[in-house]
C-alpha cells in the first residue's frame, strides 16, 4: 500500500493530524486483510496444521510483541525529547514574561511603561505559541508510536497477498 505522507502535510499541525489519520486508516485496512487471511488459514488448518502453518501462527505472536514493544519505545523516546525541549522553552518564556512584568511595574514614565508593556505582550504571545505547540508534540508522539505497527501491518498484507497469488 502506498504512503500518503508528503512534506507539505507535516508543515501544519492540522495536516500532521490528517497525515496521522491517513496512516491509521492505511494500517486498519492492512490489518483487516491480514486478520482475514490468517483467520482463513487457521480455519483451513483445523486440528492438523502443517509446519508452514505452525510457523505462520508463531510469527503472528512474535510480530505483535515486537511491534508493540517498538511502538511503546518510540513513543517514550519522542515524548522525552519533546517534553525536555518544550519544558525548557516554557521556562525561558516564563522568565521573560516575569521580567517584562516587573519591568512594567517599575516604569517611571509613560514611554517606559509603553516599552515594557509591549515587551510583556510579546512575552505572553511567545508563551501562548509554546502552549499551541503541544498539539504538535502529541501528534509526533502518536505518529512515532504508529510507525512500527503500520510497518508490520502493511508488510504482512503485502507478503500474505503475494503468497496467495503465487
Assigned C-alpha cell, 87: 519544558
Of the candidates 34, 20, 75, 140, the residue with the CA atom closest to the CA atom of residue 4: 20
In b/e form, how buried is each residue of 82-120, taking b as 16+ CB within 10 angstroms? Answer: beeebeeebeebeebbeebbebbeeeeeeeeeeebbebb
User: What angle, 0 to 180 degrees and rounded to 10, lies between the N-to-C axes of helices 13-45 and 134-165?
Assistant: 30
Kindly tell me if the per-residue pLDDT of 2 is higher than 50: no
Q: Where are the alpha helices (DSSP H) in the chain?
A: 13-45, 51-105, 110-132, 134-165
Q: Average per-residue pLDDT in the chain?
A: 87
Kindly tell me if the per-residue pLDDT of 32 is higher than 90: yes
Note the pLDDT of residue 1: 44
Kindly tell me if the per-residue pLDDT of 26 is higher than 60: yes
Of the candidates 155, 161, 160, 162, the residue with the CA atom closest to the CA atom of residue 27: 155
Kindly tell me if the per-residue pLDDT of 49 is higher than 70: yes
Are 21 and 147 contacting, i.e. CB atoms less than 8 angstroms apart?
no
Percentage of the chain with pLDDT > 90?
50
Kindly tell me if the per-residue pLDDT of 4 is higher than 70: no
pTM: predicted TM-score of the whole model, two decimal places = 0.69
Are 93 and 109 contacting, i.e. CB atoms less than 8 angstroms apart?
no
pLDDT, tens digit, for every residue of 77-135? 998 888 777 778 878 888 888 888 888 888 889 998 999 889 889 988 888 777 777 77
| Domain ranges, ordered by start, for the chain | 80-152
d(CA 18, CA 25): 10
Amino acid at each position: 500500500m502506498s504512503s500518503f505522507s508528503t512534506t507539505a502535510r507535516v508543515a501544519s499541525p492540522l495536516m500532521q493530524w490528517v497525515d496521522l489519520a491517513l496512516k491509521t486508516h492505511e494500517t486498519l485496512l492492512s490489518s483487516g486483510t491480514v486478520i482475514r487471511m490468517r483467520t482463513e488459514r487457521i480455519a483451513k488448518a483445523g486440528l492438523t496444521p502443517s509446519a508452514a502453518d505452525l510457523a505462520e501462527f508463531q510469527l503472528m505472536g512474535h510480530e505483535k510483541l515486537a511491534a508493540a514493544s517498538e511502538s511503546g519505545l518510540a513513543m517514550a523516546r519522542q515524548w522525552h525529547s519533546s517534553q525536555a525541549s518544550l519544558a525548557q522553552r516554557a521556562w525561558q518564556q516564563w522568565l521573560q514574561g516575569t521580567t517584562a512584568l516587573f519591568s512594567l511595574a517599575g516604569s517611571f514614565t509613560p514611554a517606559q511603561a509603553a516599552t515594557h508593556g509591549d515587551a510583556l505582550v510579546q512575552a505572553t504571545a511567545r508563551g501562548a505559541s509554546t502552549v499551541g505547540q503541544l498539539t504538535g508534540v502529541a501528534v509526533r508522539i502518536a505518529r512515532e508510536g504508529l510507525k512500527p505497527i503500520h510497518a508490520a501491518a502493511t508488510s504482512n498484507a503485502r507478503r500474505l497477498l503475494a503468497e496467495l497469488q503465487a
